[in-house]
Structure 1
C-alpha cells in the first residue's frame, strides 16, 4: 500500500490545489460537457503526458493513448477497433478541428517493432499484432538506412511511423472528407523526452513546433 499511498496523497493535493483553482471550470464541464478542439493520439508511455507537454486545461484536448501512438487503417481487423472507435467519437461527435499524432523518443513500442520479425509469438499475442500496423514503416526504414545502428533505426522509425499513421487516418472516408472541406486538420508531432523539445512535420521536414505560428 506504500506505493498506492503516493497516489492517494496526490489526489488530496489535487483537490486542495489544482481543483480548487479550477473549480468553476470543472463545474462548467460537468454541466455543459466537453467540446475539445484537439484530438491527440499519443503513446501509453508514462513519460509522455500530452496535457502536461502542451500545458492544456481540462476539456481542451481529447486524448487517445495506445502502444506507439499508432493508427490502424479503416479496413483493419475488428480486434483493432478501440483506437478507431475513439477517433470516430472525437471527429463525428465532438467535432474536433485538429488531430495530432504525437510520437516520441525512446518508444518501446517502436523498439519492439524493430527488434524482431513478427511471427505473432504467444508471449506477445497482443503487442505483436498491434505494432505490426507500422510494419511498412519498419521495412522502409530498414531498406533505406542499412548503414545505421539499431538505435538510429528506432529513432528514424519513431518519426516515420507518425507519417504512416497520418496516411492511415486518411483511409477513413469521413476524415478525408472533413480534411478536404477544411473542417479538419491533421498534424504530426514528435516529443523528445531527453530535451523536452516538441517538433512538428512541415511537409517532410520536422521543425520546432514554435515555428508553426511565426
Structure 2
C-alpha cells in the first residue's frame, strides 16, 4: 500500500514516552489483559469528537470499558439487510459475546454532527441531503429527534437535539432483539448521559421526568 506513511514524529515520541512510563509501571496488568482477554463492565457509545475523552471522564483503566465511537453517538434501528453495520456489530458483540451489564450512550455539548443534522433538516445544508453524503445519510437516524424539538424556542433547539441524539439511540437499541431480551431479563441496563465539555458537567436521563439532570 504505497500511500501509507510513517507516523509523524510527535506521535512516535508520545508512544515512546508511554512505553517507558505508563506501560513499564503496569506491565503485569497489560500482560494479564493480553492473556486473560477483556471483561468490560460497560459498553460506551460516544461521539467521535476529540474533546470527549471517555476513559478520563470516568477514570477508567484499560479493559474496563468496551467503547464504540461514531458521529453524534448514534445507534441505527435494528436491520438484518446484510449491509455493513459497524455500530450494530459493536452492539451485538458487546451484548452477546462480552455480556456487558450496562450500555451507556454519551452525548455532548457543541456536537458538530448534531449541528449538521440541524442544518440539514432546517434546509441550510443541501449538500448533506445528497445521496452521496455519508454524513447526511448517517444523520438521517436523528431526523425523528429533530421533529421532536421543533416545538421548543429556536434558541433551545440545538441543545435539545444533542440530547435527542441520546434518546433516539436508546430507543433504537431496544429494537435489537438481543438487547430487548437482556434488558427484560434484568441482565442489562441502558443509560443516557450528556456532558458539557466546557463546564465538565455530566447529566443523566431520568425516564420518570423525561429530562436530564446533573449527576
TM-score, normalization by structure 1: 0.89
Query: Where do residues 28-107 of structure 1 align in structure 2 (5 Å cutoff)?
Result: 28-75=32-79, 78-79=82-83, 81-107=85-111
- Superposed structure 1 runs of 4+ greater than 6 Å apart: none
Aligned residue for 1:120? 129
SS at match of 1:17: helix
Q: Name which of 167, 171, 176 aligns with 1:172.
A: 176
Q: How many residues align?
A: 203
Q: Which runs of 5+ in 1 are unaligned?
A: 210-214
Alignment CA distance shift 1:80-1:201 (3 Å): farther
Q: Distance in 1 between matches of 2:197 and 2:80?
A: 31
Q: Deviations over 1:70-101 (max 9, x none)?
A: 00000276556110001100110011000000
Give the stretch that moved more between structures: 124-133 or 73-82.
73-82
Checking the alignment, whether the CA contact within 8 Å between 1:104 and 1:190 is kept in structure 2 is yes
Checking the alignment, whether the CA contact within 8 Å between 2:120 and 2:136 is kept in structure 1 is no
Give the stretch that moved more between structures: 84-93 or 109-118.
109-118
Q: Distance in 1 between matches of 2:46 and 2:83?
A: 19
SS at match of 2:198: coil
CA positional deviation for 1:47 = 0.5
More helix by percentage: 1
